[in-house]
Structure 1
């Protein structure tokens, strides 16, 4: 069964204060490890929320973007010389709307905004292994040999030029 993509009139995406990301980060990403939710860099990051038209005060998907260089081997020097590289982190979508296209819409918006308004030319993340397919569908690639473990959750680094 094909899930219909959300229509732009169903939701709004906007930049939000970082504290507004914490409830979803906790509930979806680290319910048993709330100390993993706040990041020291949160005050300097760009934070985005996707809000359904039915509730413009509570985000149902959140993501944070930071100007942060990846390990040197992830992008070639030529790629890095083209412009700023950003890392997105703490991407979470409410369980009841996962698989319906809202998270993908938010990620696409963030990539476009980063490229257009922040002059970002490449992005990277540390993705949970069970989410690799989601990111590959959107053009990202796994960095060979980048596997890691965080609190028992397997991760890999992924990259993409914008």
Structure 2
């Protein structure tokens, strides 16, 4: 499986760059370092499209990941909840689909190979239930930290599979 050409993710622009005028959404300090900017990321990630052309029509938005030097919070400074469309077509539990599981397994293999994700620490912002992160960590011998506002703590207290922690 080929997940496409190497994106901006491979070389984050403006690593450690300062963002003028932006403030941390947690502590409200202004000492923010931008470390990743991607012009177009899908805003509807919880939907499996029936065709490549349908997938290409999914709305996109800019993502700018920032690190607050004051409190350590990592966030998308361009996040806009108003553009999210959670409706009857949104289905985050895609693991019931054999087609999706095949796609996910191929994607995980490609990510591990391409970005040498073995024995690393992986951060997944918007990790949903954490299943993708857990599989990526298990197969690559990685440690993972997942963050998702929809996360509902379960009997694991946010810890999954020993090497993965999920938080809101």
Q: Is the structural similarity TM-score above 0.5? A: no
State the TM-score, normalizing by the size of structure 2.
0.32
Richer in strand (by share): 1
Q: Whose RCO is larger (CA < 8 A, sep 6+)?
A: 1
Richer in helix (by share): 1
